[in-house]
Chains A and B, each alone.
Chain A
Amino acid sequence: DIQMTQSPSSLSASVGDRVTITCRASQAISTYLNWYQQKPGKAPKLLIHAVSNLQSGVPSRFSGSGSGTNFTLIISGLQPEDFATYYCQQSYTTPMYTFGQGTKLEIK
């Protein structure tokens, strides 16, 4: 099974900050890496698919990069609505999937 490890598990930041969240796969997953945002009491929302492709409607301050086993989600210029939990997901082993444990982004 492919394990997905996110770091950090939690992060405090201020409005306007640039934030980086890392996701590492236990083996190479090519570009089958997606990012989701989840707010309390809500369903996850797709942000980025295939490493760097922004979902329609997602602000351009979100970006993704990486390949192989190491991937990064960057939020440039944090906005109040960005404080949430972020999950990476590998779909290399489709039709079975694994999520990272999540990174909770909190207001400093």
Chain B
Amino acid sequence: EVRLLDSGGDLVQPGGSLRLSCTASGFTFRMYAMNWVRQAPGKGLEWVSGISGSGSSTFYADSVKGRFVISRDNSKNTLYLQMKSLRAEDTAVYYCAKRLGGGGSGYDYFDDWGQGTLVTVSS
């Protein structure tokens, strides 16, 4: 059974930093690209960042580019999101999501999600 466990969310002041983690089990972690998706309170889903299975390629939404860094440790089956220069508008539940498809397969979607971790940016 695939399990993704999100952690690290907290209350942080504007301008502060935080690192989120997503610990995976039940599948061969290094074989899959992973993503972070966030949801501000009462709002919709926003894709934040993605990383290839090897970790060699990373991608960011314009809203977080230059402030957030996605990484992974395949030896620990763990995905990370290092966030800095946090703003009030970064307040959200952050979900990690496993990506299936791509590479010309004709499909590309998120088939498993973590339970989410809440980041609150406020003074």
Contacts and interface: CB of A to CB of B under 8 A. Distances in A.
Interface of A: 31-32, 34, 36, 38, 42-46, 49-50, 53, 55, 87, 89, 91, 94-102
Contacts of B44: 87, 99-102
A45 B113 contact: yes
Nearest to A44: B113
B66 to A, nearest CB: 16
Q: Which of A38, A45, A95, A101 has the most CB of B within 10 A?
A: A95
Interface residues of B, number: 27
> Main secondary structure on chain B at its contact with chain A?
strand
13 contacts: A31-B107, A36-B45, A43-B114, A43-B116, A49-B100, A49-B101, A50-B107, A50-B109, A89-B45, A91-B109, A95-B57, A99-B47, A100-B44
Nearest to B6: A43
B46 A99 contact: yes
A25 to B, nearest CB: 14
Nearest to A90: B108
Nearest to A87: B45
B61 A99 contact: no
Interface in B98-123: 99-102, 106-111, 113-116
